Amino acid sequence: MKNILTKLLLIIFIIIFLTIIFINPVRAFDKNEVLRKEDTFEQLENAPENNIIYKFDKKTNKTTIVDVDEILALYNLSRTNESMGFMSQNQQKSIWTDNKFTRDTPNWFFSPHLGLRPYSDTCKIKAEGDIRNGSGFLVGSNLLLTNAHCVFEDKNFENYYPNWICYPAYDNGAYASGLYTGWSTVYYSSGYSSNIESVSNENDWAICVLQSNLGDTQGWFSCSSYGSSSYLEDKAIKQIGYPDNDIFSGKYQYCSTGNITNVRSKSFDTNAINYRGMSGGPIVLQSNENSAVGLIKGFYNDNTTYGVRITSDIVNLIISLQQSN
C-alpha cells in the first residue's frame, strides 16, 4: 500500500511539472511589460540626473563607456532633435497568406501593408525559439531600437538572450528569404538598472547594431525628440508591434491608435491598446508615421500603454552610429 501511494504521488508530481513546462511556459519578456500606475508616478528625488551609456560587444565580450559628445565631434555632427530616416526603393507588396485572427475592437487592426513604412521596418524579435518574443524597429541600415528588456535577461546586463533574431515585417515567418539577423553590439543606458522602478522604466531602451543591413531593403524610421512636453500632450499616435498572449500568437503585426497622455520628461502614457509581445515597437505621431517619438515599454492593467520617450541623447547616439557603421 505504501509503495502504491508513493508511486501515485510521484505520478502527480510529474504531471504537475510537465503542465508547468509545456502548458504554461514562462515568457521571458512578461515581467517587464506589466506596469503599475503607482510605479510610473514614483518620486524621483534620488534619481541620478545623468545616466551612463554603455556599449557591449558580443564578439569581444567587453563593455565600454560611450562618450556621445566625443563621437559627435569626431564626425563633425551637431546635436539635433531628429535622426535621418530612409525610404527603400526595393519595398515589395504585402505577402499575407494565412487567415488572421481579428476582433471587433475599436482602434485595433492588422498592419495594412508590410511592404510600406512604417510597417516594413517594424520587426519581430525572437529568442530561444518561440517562447520569448518582442518587437523593435529599424533606425538605420543596420540599427534596431528596442527595449533593453528585449535584449538582456536581467538589469545587471550580465546575460543577454541567446539565439536572438530580428525579423523585419515578420508575417508568420520571414518576410523574404534572408531578411533576418542577430546583433553584434548593443548600446544601452545605465539608468535601466536603477532600483527606482520609474527610473528603470523610462531608461528601458537599447540600440542594437545588427549583423546585416536590413534597413537597405526595408527602409528605416527617423527618430524625433521634443524638448517641450506640452507639444506631445494629447497628440494622435499609432503604435506597432507583435502581440503574443493567449489570444494573439506573435505571428502577425498589429497596430493600435489613440492619443498621448501623462507626458513626463523621458516617458509618456497612451490610451492605445497594447498587449504582451509589443514591447520595443515604435510609437509614431499620426501626422508623421515614418518618424518615431517613443517605443512601447509595457502596459497597464487596462491594456493602455507606457511609452519610453525618444530623447535627444538617443537621437544623437543614433546619428553617430548611422555615420560610423
Residue with cell 545588427: 210
- DSSP character string of 132-167: EEEEEEEEETTEEEE-GGGTBSSTTS--B-TT-EEE
Specify the higher pLDDT residue, 205 or 92.
205
The predicted-structure confidence for 19-40, as pLDDT tens digits, reads as follows: 433 333 344 566 677 766 666 5
**Distances in whole angstroms, Cα of residue 288 to Cα of each of 118, 193, 256, 270:** 10, 32, 15, 17
Of 42 and 222, the one with more pLDDT: 222
pLDDT for the residue numbered 88: 81
Reported pTM: 0.86
- Average pLDDT in the 75-79 region? 77
Taking CA atoms, 306 is separated from 145, 166, 271, in Å, by 16, 23, 9
More confident residue, 231 or 227: 231
Q: Which structural domains are found in the chain, ordered by start?
A: 34-81+107-324 (2.40.10.120)
Give residue-wise pLDDT tens across range 115-131: 888 999 999 999 975 55
3-state secondary structure of 123: strand
pLDDT of residue 176: 78
Per-residue pLDDT, 90: 61
Q: In sequence order, what are the beta bridge partners of 263?
A: none
Q: Residues of 134-148 as b/e, b for ≥16 C-beta within 10 angstroms?
A: bbbbbbbbbbbbbbb
Q: Would you state the torsion angle of the CA atoms of residues 313, 317, 318, 319, taken in this order, to the nearest 10 degrees?
A: 100
Residue 290 has pLDDT above 60, yes or no: yes
Q: 3-class DSSP state for residue 260?
A: strand
Average the pLDDT over each of 8-12, 19-23, 56-60 and give the range with the smallest value.
Answer: 19-23
* pLDDT at 73 (0 to 100): 82
Question: What does the pLDDT average to over 278-294?
Answer: 96
Note the pLDDT of residue 152: 92
Question: How many residues can be counted in the chain?
Answer: 325
> Rounded distance, CA 161 to CA 180, Å?
16
